[in-house]
Every structure is written in C-alpha cells, then in structure tokens.
C-alpha cells in the first residue's frame, strides 16, 4: 500500500506553487511545474519513505521539475528575455569613478529580528522580483535551492566568472532594495 | 590598494570559492579602514541567511 494519499498532496499544493513562482517568476509555469510534481509524486509514491517529511520529498521533486522547465525555456530563444539585460547600471550607480561607495552602507538595525516579521518576507520577495531575470535566477538557485556554483554555471551555460558576477549583482541589488524598503536608510 | 567596488566583489566571491591568502589580506586591510564595507560584509551574511530561511517562511 502506498504511504501517501492524493488528498495529502493537495495540502502542499499552494506551498509548492509559491516555491516555484519564486524561482520561475511566472505563475503559469509554476502551476505547470507543480502539476508535473504532483503527477510524479503519485506515480512514484512507492519511493516515498515515511521517514522523511512529505513536503521535503515533494520539494525535492519540484526542484527537478523547475530545472527541466528552465532548460526547456532556454531552448526557446524568443522567450529568453534575459539576453538584453544591462545590469551594469546598478553597479555603476553604487560606486564612484574611483571605486569608492557613492553612499557607504549604513548599519542595519536588528536584522535578525526582521526574520520574525511577516512583512519583512513580503519585502524580501518583492525585492527579489525586482531583480533582472537571470540575476534573480542565479541568486535563487544558489541561496534558495542551495545549488553549488558549478551546478548553476552548468544550468545557465555560463562561465564560473560570469556566475560570480551574477551572484554579486544580485546581492548588491537585494542589499540596496532591503536597505531602502525595509531598513529605511533614506538616501 | 583595493577599492570598495573590488572589495565587495571579493567579499561576495568568498561565499563561492576559497579566496587566496593575498586576497584575504587585502580584504582585511580594506575592511579595517572602511566602515561602509564592514557594514556590507555583515549585510551580505544576513542576506544569505535570510534567503536560506525563505523556504520555511512561504
Ligand atoms: Zn570599502
């Protein structure tokens, strides 16, 4: 007998959709990825061992589905909007000609406490949404899906150096966005 | 002398790879003298921590 009931799967659905949206940034694609995940879960339910949590197991499947989806998208050039992204603008705005900060980062007040505040997570997600597509994807693969830099380079077919550049831009952009929209450091 | 722009790149890369002792030295020297970059270093660590916490906050 299978250890999982399709009804249990449905309970995790909305969580999985939110997870997928953060990585794919497209609600329709996210729905598709979750649909495929649930089908795969039902078909492969014998592989689920009750020792692990159902959600963890489902997220594991979902991660693969998300990567499949990104790979399929990458093969459709007309949909690859990431090409024309000019992200140097941000970096240029943050530093002066001589390489010093245009406006040096100020201290953040009680950052750890923010993590207990639901509104903080809304701001965090919004800041993530505002990043250019490829930058956000690389960052979320690294930090949210906890993939290694090597895996990300392979997925995005970019060099290691480019991968570092993307991750760095993402961190600069997120820092800037949180600074203004959460920590209230007005410029 | 390392400038802030390159120092932030190194701080970010130190989350991705083992940086050389020479790089680490240059970074530490810069950080000693630059409050902006010291704040940035702490904020970088916080951003990683927060992003890794996000799956539990959905
Ligand atoms: Zn500096």
For residue A151, give both structure tokens.
């895996």
Q: How many domains does chain B have?
A: 1
Mean pLDDT across A34-63: 88
Residue A84 has pLDDT above 50, yes or no: no
pLDDT of residue A86: 59
Confidence tier at A36 by pLDDT (50, 70, 90): very high
Distances (CA, A) of A157 to A21, A67, A137, A150, B41: 22, 13, 13, 10, 29
Ligand 1 centroid distance, CA of B31 (Å)? 6
User: From B43, which residue of chain A is nearest by alpha-carbon distance?
Assistant: A175
Q: How far is CA A22 from CA A9, A15, A59, A125, A174, in A?
A: 20, 11, 13, 8, 14
Which CATH number applies to A6-75?
1.10.1740
For residues A71-80, average pLDDT? 63
Tell whether the torsion through CA atoms of A173, A138, A17 and A120 is positive or negative: negative
Summarised one tens digit per residue, pLDDT across range A103-149 is 999 999 999 999 999 999 999 999 998 888 889 989 999 998 999 99
Eight-state DSSP code of residue A82 = G
pLDDT band at A82 (very low <50, low <70, confident <90, very high): very low
Question: Cβ of B29 under 8 Å from any chain A Cβ?
Answer: no
pTM for the full model?
0.85
Q: Give pLDDT, residue A2.
A: 53
Q: What is the largest CA-CA distance in chain A?
A: 68
Q: Which of A17, A88, A104, A187 to mutate to test the interface with B (most CBs of B within 10 A)?
A: A104
Residue bearing the bigger pLDDT, A112 or A74: A112
- Each residue's pLDDT expressed in tens, for chain B with a length of 58 residues: 799 999 999 999 999 999 999 999 999 999 999 999 999 999 999 999 999 999 888 8
| A87-181 CATH, one of 3.40.50.620, 3.10.20.90, 1.10.10.10, 1.50.10.20 | 1.10.10.10
Interchain contact, A115 vs B9, CB within 8 Å: no
* Tokens linked to A91: 């970096």
Q: At residue A63, does pLDDT exceed 60?
A: yes
Domain residue extents for chain A? 6-75, 87-181
Residue B14's φ and ψ, nearest 5 degrees, are -70, -10
């Amino acid at each position: 007998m299978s250890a999982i009931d399709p009804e249990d799967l449905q309970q995790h659905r909305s969580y999985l959709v939110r997870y997928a949206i953060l990585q794919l940034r497209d609600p329709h694609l996210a729905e598709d990825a979750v649909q495929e995940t649930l089908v795969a879960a039902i078909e492969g339910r014998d592989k689920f061992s009750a020792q692990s949590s159902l959600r963890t197991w489902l997220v594991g499947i979902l991660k693969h589905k998300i990567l499949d989806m990104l790979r399929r998208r990458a093969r459709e050039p007309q949909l690859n909007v990431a090409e024309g992204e000019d992200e140097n603008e941000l970096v240029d705005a943050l530093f002066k000609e001589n390489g010093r900060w245009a406006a040096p980062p100020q201290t953040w007040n009680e950052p750890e406490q923010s993590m207990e505040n639901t509104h903080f997570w809304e701001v965090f997600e919004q800041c993530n949404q505002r990043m250019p597509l490829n930058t956000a994807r690389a960052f979320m693969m690294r930090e949210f899906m906890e993939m290694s830099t090597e895996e990300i380079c392979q997925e995005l077919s970019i060099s290691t150096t480019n991968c570092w550049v993307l991750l760095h831009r993402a961190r600069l952009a997120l820092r800037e966005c949180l600074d203004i929209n959460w920590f209230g450091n007005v410029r | 002398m390392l400038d802030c722009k390159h120092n932030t790149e190194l701080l970010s890369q130190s989350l991705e790879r083992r940086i050389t002792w020479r790089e680490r030295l240059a970074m530490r020297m810069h950080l000693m003298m630059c409050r902006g970059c010291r704040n940035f270093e702490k904020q970088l660590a916080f951003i990683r921590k927060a992003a890794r916490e996000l799956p539990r906050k959905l």
